[in-house]
Structure 1
Amino acid sequence: MKDYRIKQVEEHIKKLNVGDTLDPLFAGKLAKRLFGADFTAMSIEDATSFVLEHHIGYRQYDRFRNSFATLGYKIFPSALKMNAYKKNIENGIVKTDILTNSKKESIQIAFVSNIAELLKQRIVNLYNSNSLDLSRNCVDICVIGDKGSTTTKLGILIKTIDRWNSLNNMSLIAMYYGDDNYENMFTCFKAIAEELEDFKSLMINGTKYLVNLHLNGDYKFICSALGHTGAASAHHSK
């Protein structure tokens, strides 16, 4: 019974797609994504991700939304809400906080709270502009840290075909006031590191690509990030 209802939804979506060039498996993917015991509403985040993944325009999206609403299934969020969310993705949703490290010191931090969505959007934009380097059949992302003046910053670079180590390719994802020692970085960057580690793959134009993360920075930053005390020896070489 469940498979039969999914098939009905597939046929309905295919009728809406007449004359459009979409992923031929799109109807099945959307039907299975929506289907539960009953149809369940898609969140703004899920709907936006699905639209971006399948390169669907908002006009076409509204056709889906209105058609399902006519059938009694109000399962798609409005395009206006999705567009507002998409703008937040593109710019990054920045939050601020005051954290306390292991030494009971307070640290002011500003960070992007939707890193995975920001990365997905940037990667798709690079792909659509033929700038994304997929020569290794994966997406390479460099996580780079830097201590300057009174702040420690964390940024990301996505490997592009031309000059990817460029300021124009840098996205600042976190910054705090304080030294780049292990205690501060663990306190401020732990949640961000976990989110980046969970970002293992993504779909681009119907193909799944793995994500490879690379760590870069000066010697002290790398040592702090890895929990090393740095270079030390009791008996130096002569």
Structure 2
Amino acid sequence: ETEKRHYAHVDCPGHADYVKNMITGAAQMDGAILVVSAADGPMPQTREHILLARQVGVPYIVVFLNKADMVDDEELLELVELEIRELLCSYDFPGDDIPIIKGSALMALNGEQGELGEDSINRLMDAVDSYIPQPERAIDKPFLMPVEDVFSISGRGTVATGRVERGIVKVGEEVEVVGIKATAKTTVTGVEMFRKLLDEGRAGDNIGALLRGVKREDIER
């Protein structure tokens, strides 16, 4: 959370076998933070992530050049930065304009001050705040939410989580579960976001919707 915004963060690990999970998450992103090791430079999975971001339509990327504390040579850091910018350009991202923040996540995690410590994370989030514009939300269209995960709460029912693509859903409203199995009607008995109970969920919100009379196995991603 910054002074300007409350972000929902989806982690996309660098291993090739997580690509499916990345596609599920990336298709719903308003922007991405690309983390590249300053010590290693762009890796094969860096290229994969940029390509996937391009293919699923992630509109904006901000780069965090991590482990900058492990590189003493300023020229080497500049070379890695240049390499990242060229790579981004090759996938039609504006590589020359994209903010690249140098720092050390470990130093920040350990509470170390200074340019590469906590300051670098603050600068990163400032860049995300300013470079990624406020997205337009389609709240005037019918409610639609792709299901990202499903779980049961004993005594209460089944919760479907995901990001509302469009429209608004209010507590007490009837919704349809469509897709893999036969279409089923149900009522939303609760909406939760960031561990707070809400009266409604809107386009762009990452919510959990409590569904009446739906079994855990009746709904899937």
**Do both share a fold (TM > 0.5)?**
no
Larger radius of gyration: 1
**TM-score calculated relative to the size of structure 1:** 0.20
Higher relative contact order (CA closer than 8 Å, sequence separation 6+): 1
**TM-score calculated relative to the size of structure 2:** 0.21
